[in-house]
Amino acid sequence: MVELVFTERIRKASEKALEVEGCSESLKKQIEALLEEDRRIAKENEAERIAAAEREKANTDPEYANQPVIQKTSTINFSLAQAISQTLLNASSLQEKKEYYLHELVKSSQVYSEPPKPRIRSPELIAHLEKIKVELANKEYATMVKDVEETDTATFQLDTKEWKEMKGQLTAILNIFFTMISVFVAIYWVGYTVTNDIGMKVLLGLAGALIVGIAEAWLYISYSNRSKNSAKKQKKNQ
């Protein structure tokens, strides 16, 4: 038994056939039942669309968002479509007959095939999928946190190394400064044995402090360069 999709063209032809005087009672009952079934399906489809919209608003899970709304389709038996076509052809004038030929009625229709039923997930499957979601989320979070921790650790290590270098440089500068002060004071007091001129003693003290400062700075720079070269060689050997 071939079923066709009940289109608007066939619906209008069916309503027109009910008005034909030559339409048999048996055919009228079939057409009336067909139209009643079409109206019932239309109401059910509208109710399903409204219910689906409500479910989509209430459900925040993206997995169930934008799910297609399953709509029923009105159909007509091919033999009934033939009977309607024949009834209209018998009662129509030559000008009207063209639109009531069977091939014209079913032009926008097609053979109806039952759509596959939607798969219903079992509670066990849903629980298993939820468990997998949680595990994947935990793994993703662990990966994100791991990257942050490694970056923070590397930054902390880098800052500590720089701080040690800066601390060493600051200590060397202070040592040189205090050494220069000590040399200046020592030469200034020793200058009493040479001259009583305060200006001369200050110049001698500054000269001695400057010489010692330059010597200390040169020694520190030389030591620092040797330490860096030694560290570079150790890294290359590793």
pLDDT digits (tens, 9 = 90+) for 20-71: 888 899 999 999 999 999 999 999 889 888 887 887 776 655 555 455 667 8
Q: Would you list the DSSP string of the chain?
A: --EEE--HHHHHHHHHHHT-TT--HHHHHHHHHHHHHHHHHHHHHHHHHHHHHHHHHH---GGGTTPPPP----EEEHHHHHHHHHHHHHHS-HHHHHHHSHHHHTTT--B--PPPPPPPPPHHHHHHHHHHHHHHHHHHHHHHHHHHHHHHHHHHHHHHHHHHHHHHHHHHHHHHHHHHHHHHHHHHHHGGGT---HHHHHHHHHHHHHHHHHHHHHHHHHHHHHHHHHHHHHHHH-
State what percent of residues in the chain have pLDDT above 90: 14
pLDDT digits (tens, 9 = 90+) for 181-220: 888 888 888 877 777 788 888 888 888 888 988 888 888 8
Instruction: Give the lowest-confidence range in 2-6, 64-68, 77-81, 93-97.
Output: 64-68
**The whole model's pTM is what?**
0.46
Q: What is the pLDDT of residue 155?
A: 52
CA-based end-to-end distance of the chain: 85
CA–chain centroid gap for 209, Å, is 68
